[in-house]
Chains A and B, each alone.
Chain A
Amino acid sequence: AQKITQTQPGMFVQEKEAVTLDCTYDTSDPSYGLFWYKQPSSGEMIFLIYQGSYDQQNATEGRYSLNFQKARKSANLVISASQLGDSAMYFCAMREGRISNFGNEKLTFGTGTRLTIIP
């Protein structure tokens, strides 16, 4: 089974609208971390936001927020007031296990969603 599932291969959104990128995950470990990365056309991977499995509140970083629904095992990324510069590939990723446990460093990535912002 896929550990990270991103069901939207591509999305088109009007500039200034909010957009939600879907991510579901699968793990039996009670400790895990969820990440979102952005990959613009230039190719680099840019960290956006992190959510820990024990975090009580949804993570927010500027225009980015993570809608964390633990029971549904979903970690959707919400981008408010989208901008042309948000056009990129977006990857959801998961690390299983406590960060303090030596060896739990592997990030498993989803297949990504290509977001295109329309002027």
Chain B
Amino acid sequence: DAGVIQSPRHEVTEMGQEVTLRCKPISGHDYLFWYRQTMMRGLELLIYFNNNVPIDDSGMPEDRFSAKMPNASFSTLKIQPSEPRDSAVYFCATRGQRPWTGELFFGEGSRLTVL
């Protein structure tokens, strides 16, 4: 089975540009999470969805960040306008097949560099 697929793997952009990160979850997983990893703050939950509905977006840092899940097989995380402090690795993850544990399966991440 294919895992969580993220694109792009690497993105370098200039401050002020719009950035869109994409995620294809594992089929059948009904929870999808967006995490951000930086050296300073570690791994932080930004937002998560259940059955395509956003449940908790309290981790989204600013209005510049938005996330959507138009269907069960696709989600986007958009930053507009981007700033250098947004440079990080962004992970998409979905809930595993053992619901009683809540283990997550992560994608390989999208490394964003904002110049």
Contact = CB atoms under 8 A, between A and B. Distances in A.
Interface in A74-118: 91, 93, 95, 99, 102-103, 105-107, 109-112
Interface string A23-56: 0000000000101010000111111001010000
Given A42-B108, A93-B43, A106-B48, 15 more contacts: A33-B102, A44-B108, A44-B109, A45-B91, A47-B103, A47-B104, A47-B105, A50-B101, A52-B101, A99-B102, A105-B48, A106-B45, A106-B56, A110-B42, A112-B42
Interface residues of B, number: 26
A111 B18 CA distance: 30
B40 to A, nearest CB: 10
Contact of A107 (B45, B96, B99): B45
Interface of A: 33, 35, 37, 42-47, 50, 52, 91, 93, 95, 99, 102-103, 105-107, 109-112
A8 B45 CA distance: 23
Contacts of A52: 100-101
Contacts, number: 58
A109 B42 contact: yes
Contacts of A46: 106
Interface string B27-63: 0000101000000001101001010000110000000
Interface string B5-44: 0000000000000000000000000010100000000110
